[in-house]
Amino acid sequence: MSVIKRIALTPGEPSGIGPDLILSLAQQKHEAQLIALADPELLKQRAELLGLSISLIEMDLSEPRQLAEAGELFVLSHRLKAPVTAGELNHLNSRYVLDTLQTALDGCLSKQFDAIVTAPVHKGIINDSGEVFTGHTEFFADGAGVKKVVMMLATDSLKVALATTHLPLRDVADAITSDELSEVIAIIHHAMQQHFGLALPRIAVCGLNPHAGEDGHLGREEVDIIQPVIDHFIQDGYAVSGAWPADTIFNQDKLQNYDVVLAMYHDQGLPVLKHHGFGKAVNLTLGLPFIRTSVDHGTALDLAGTGRANPSSLYAALKMAIAMANTQ
């Protein structure tokens, strides 16, 4: 008999749509135990605002794993620092948000959770509170003691990984080194094997500059760094190709030949991915010692508590997390 997988759900910014989305998930029965790391009163208030029926089951992780019925949600209680009004940020609750992430992290490292699914946080308000926070990806990497992770967004038919993540554009070129790029490609290759069952993942690597540098006439990064790294992996038997101009590789006739595209920076790859499947894409952190998936959108403060938030991305993130957990 297979063991029930246990998934930590972090609602993110309490005044955003994260609580709404998790309550939406709880309206259906799932093939894993979902545990919201949240303030039960927040969930009750938001459910009332949305007109949703919910039965909250407060618990601790020593209890046996079990599935909830539709309309039920297991909750590992965390208390807000200040009252919440949907759509209105309050920096006093930043520590609450980080505490939920820390509990999820600790639970995965201790094997009490099989995966983390995160709803969106508001980086600005967390930093306004005096906490230094770059994003989920960096938070979990630091907490797990992992020096290098890779951010990848995925739909059913397109996967885009990033060589760099949340950097100012002027810093991107300096961040792309032979060692860093080699580590990124190795992480992607391993993750695609481990979680997606691909014996030889086909990785298309973008160049950094327009037209992939035009043989050095529009920048030297391809000639000096990117192409030598690609050639090294090819020599070692990896299915890696490039350096591709981004406006070439993201054409459908090229994409069908690859399992994942590695973009050099955030806004080179993610606009294409989000145009392709916004609201249905999943954000994954590759290279962690546990599974973490997330939504492809932000806190949408203007939609919080209105009933108009689309839960499709969180559903997709949960589905992928459960599928990945079942491969462990």
> CB–CB of 54/77 below 8 Å?
no
Q: Give residue 223's identity as a one-letter amino acid code.
A: V
68: confidence class by pLDDT, cuts 50, 70, 90: very high
Distance of CA 193 to the CA centre of its chain: 18
* Pairwise CA distance, residues 71 & 10, whole Å: 18
Question: Tokens standing for 246?
Answer: 């981004």
109 φ/ψ angles, rounded to the nearest 5 degrees: -65, -30
pLDDT of residue 81: 95
Domains 1-146+288-328 and 148-282 share a fold: yes
CA distances from 194 to 147, 151, 242, 293, 298 (A): 20, 16, 23, 15, 28
Q: Identify the bridge partners of residue 55 per DSSP, sorted by sequence position.
A: 72
Parse the chain into domains and list their residue ranges.
Answer: 1-146+288-328, 148-282
> CB–CB of 58/40 below 8 Å?
yes
Percent of the chain at pLDDT exceeding 70:
100
Q: For 1-146+288-328, CATH number? A: 3.40.718.10
pLDDT per position as a tens digit, 75-105: 999 999 999 999 999 999 999 999 999 999 9
pLDDT of residue 165: 87
CA distances from 290 to 64, 273, 283 (A): 21, 24, 14
Alpha-helix runs per DSSP H in the chain: 18-25, 40-50, 94-109, 123-128, 136-144, 169-175, 178-196, 221, 227-235, 246-249, 252-255, 266-277, 312-325
Options 3.30.470.20, 3.40.718.10, 3.40.50.2300, 3.30.70.2660; which CATH number does 148-282 get?
Answer: 3.40.718.10
Would you say residue 1 has pLDDT above 60? no
Write down the pTM of the prediction: 0.90
